[in-house]
Structure 1
């Protein structure tokens, strides 16, 4: 009897040891509740009012959980459970010792007053991290309405730019997925100095009337993918700044907004080329522009934009479905006396179809200083009020393959 009990006890101990080893082999989970974060209950009156003590507790808990997770020698996960939280500006930085994930299930709110973010240009910033993941179907709400009413950047070159919802800087081999960005005060996401970063099911929502709320802006980054996402903003859904290389945009729905843009380029000194862009299987709904390349005249900046591929795109009542604009000068902030020095070459527009809100469905207005080269229009089928849309061109001789409007009307 005793021997049987001993055998049973030993077996149980071995089983417990086995289970313990399996648990320790799993990625470490760092739940912010264990670090003193509030429970996020919206029915709590004090929480609805977002008292400073609760804000402080959430920020402290998030920073502490991040610090411990980042220091972990095995893969780790910081968890923000379901609930409502208010967050001041925060930087979550590496380098970390192992792959790290932040999983957000709740709704995180920025201060409504833009000046309560201590003058920072990005509300939530992730930077200097390898193998980073942001996930969880949570929402980051920038509560940007107050900032939009104060935005005069369209007519004031010295305007105060308010905080973006996200800054992603110097990330490598990282994924942002299943996250929602809402009503940012300025751009929703700025991607800078990154390599091999994928946005998947990254959904952005802001009203058409929200100024300068670009969805995702990319600069000085390589191998960035944006796939299977919905973006509605008051500005460009996606924009590429200088130094963007090997960018893929696929299965993205854009609208409202100003479309998918390369640029603007040529405004600032020491800009780097934009090379190797693929935009494919996208839909643009009621946007001001469809697919656009824009550069500034009147500057001495010399660079190139090359190997740009736009294919299998549906336009639904888009004002300017296909546009190259090398005279981009909003609010007369520049001079057009000298032409743009950005060379645009090797651009393919293929299988682009749908409806244009204007008769001019294709506008290729290139620089008289460095005319566009190797521009191809193939299978372009755009209609305006039941008739075929027309094309206007300047300083370019596009190659027409199969069905596409011919540049019959010169740009004046």
Structure 2
């Protein structure tokens, strides 16, 4: 009986050893797909090639699946090299916190057929605590397709893919990287909360169509700091439903300036409030700091608590601009009265030069005048010689102090 017991015990230990050993061997295979607490995924070890020609979409997607599926702090490494990729979809929620370390260059395919209808290049959805950082480039290679953009001529145009799109992302950071030559917007945030954009460079030619630098809508707690943007449209555009935005140390140019943008185009848009823009420089931009709304706005909304301070203009065409008669492509109702209310807007210590005589333009409506507009130490002068510096203020109410006398229009 004892011999039988010993034999049974030995058999049990042998089976247990095989099971455990098998689990260990199996876990080695799992490591390539899912990580435990903390992990790093170099895309070249997943088959990516940095020769600028090979399609590396699969390798990058595999890296995302592994990092997002792991707990703790996970890192996706884009090493030095030129990595061509198609449409990327980084969907959460993730089990841990993911950092995308961009040391090399991600190159977007120029083949538009690889993008789904209304698709974008890099789409990040429902991810918390995301970090995108490094000294590399996200190069959209837009020049090859900019000629296919009809949005400057056609109201309901086919929109080309945006570059970096973050939807429902919370507590995120984008730092250090350079975004180049987007086919459409370079960065777009929708329903994001508590995002930090710092030390980023965004670059495209001044005549590239609809290449906004950073756009946001229905978002809150957005900070943009120490960033350089030169593009073919707005350097920064703030859409409806956005609140608690702090923009500091931004250099903009070329471009259309820093805008609270295109309000009232759609029904049920929400208010814009608590926007602060400080210590920025705008160089040869089409506009400086601007608020614009459709003349025949489809929504009733309010823009309030807007604060601009220490802004330097260097030959901006329209340094201070509020436009409630915005009507692109002449498709608005010409005599429409905007339903957008503008109130409590402060312009403080705005200095420099304007490339047009109209250094200040406040174009509000009789039915909904702009109220609570404060101009404090606004001293922007026309740099030309044919005309004098001037302000155009229509249906705007407020106060001025310490301003160039030609700009004291209240």
TM more than 0.5? yes
Alignment of 1:400 with 2:400, yes or no, is: yes
Q: SS of the residue aligned with 2:356?
A: coil
Distance 1:340 1:154 in 2: 22
Aligned to 1:91: 89
Q: Does the CA-based 8 Å contact 1:341-1:367 persist in structure 2?
A: no
Q: Deviations over 1:319-362 (max 9, x none)?
A: 00000000011221211312101000000000000000011100
Distance 2:67 2:126 in 1: 15
Distance 2:381 2:88 in 1: 48
Aligned to 2:257: 259
Aligned-residue offset at 1:147: 2.0
Q: Does the CA-based 8 Å contact 1:214-1:236 persist in structure 2?
A: yes
Q: Does the CA-based 8 Å contact 2:378-2:407 persist in structure 1?
A: no
Aligned to 2:100: 102
Aligned-residue offset at 1:238: 0.4
Aligned to 1:33: 44
Aligned to 2:389: 389
> What's the TM-score once normalised by structure 2's chain length?
0.88
Aligned-residue offset at 1:398: 2.3
Q: Does the CA-based 8 Å contact 1:89-1:120 persist in structure 2?
A: no
Superposition pairs of residues 12-411 of structure 1, within 5 angstroms: 27-38=38-49, 40-41=50-51, 48=52, 50=53, 54-55=54-55, 58-385=56-383, 389-405=389-405
**What residue ranges of structure 2 are gaps of 5+ in the alignment?**
1-34
Distance 1:406 1:397 in 2: 16
Q: Does the CA-based 8 Å contact 2:118-2:159 persist in structure 1?
A: no
Q: Deviations over 1:258-312 (max 9, x none)?
A: 0000011011100000000000000000000000000001234210000000110
Distance 2:186 2:113 in 1: 17
Q: Does the CA-based 8 Å contact 1:112-1:145 persist in structure 2?
A: no
Q: Does the CA-based 8 Å contact 2:36-2:71 persist in structure 1?
A: no
Q: Does the CA-based 8 Å contact 1:188-1:215 persist in structure 2?
A: yes
Residues paired across the two proteins, number: 374
Distance 2:284 2:124 in 1: 33
Distance 1:164 1:126 in 2: 12
Q: SS of the residue aligned with 2:335?
A: coil
**What residue ranges of structure 1 are gaps of 5+ in the alignment?**
1-23, 42-47
Distance 1:92 1:405, change over 3 A: farther
Distance 1:405 1:162, change over 3 A: farther
Aligned-residue offset at 1:27: 3.9
Deviates more, 1:122-131 or 1:110-119: 110-119
Distance 1:405 1:192 in 2: 41
> What's the TM-score once normalised by structure 1's chain length?
0.87
Distance 1:276 1:143 in 2: 35
| Higher alpha-carbon Rg | 2
Aligned-residue offset at 1:109: 1.1
Aligned-residue offset at 1:406: 5.3
Distance 1:120 1:88 in 2: 14
Aligned-residue offset at 1:389: 2.4
Q: Does the CA-based 8 Å contact 2:400-2:408 persist in structure 1?
A: no
CA-based RMSD of the aligned residues comes to 1.8
Distance 2:138 2:118 in 1: 17
Distance 1:352 1:27 in 2: 48
Distance 1:25 1:61, change over 3 A: closer
Q: SS of the residue aligned with 1:213?
A: coil
Deviates more, 1:220-229 or 1:29-38: 29-38
Deviates more, 1:306-315 or 1:398-407: 398-407
Deviates more, 1:152-161 or 1:216-225: 152-161
Distance 1:118 1:196 in 2: 29
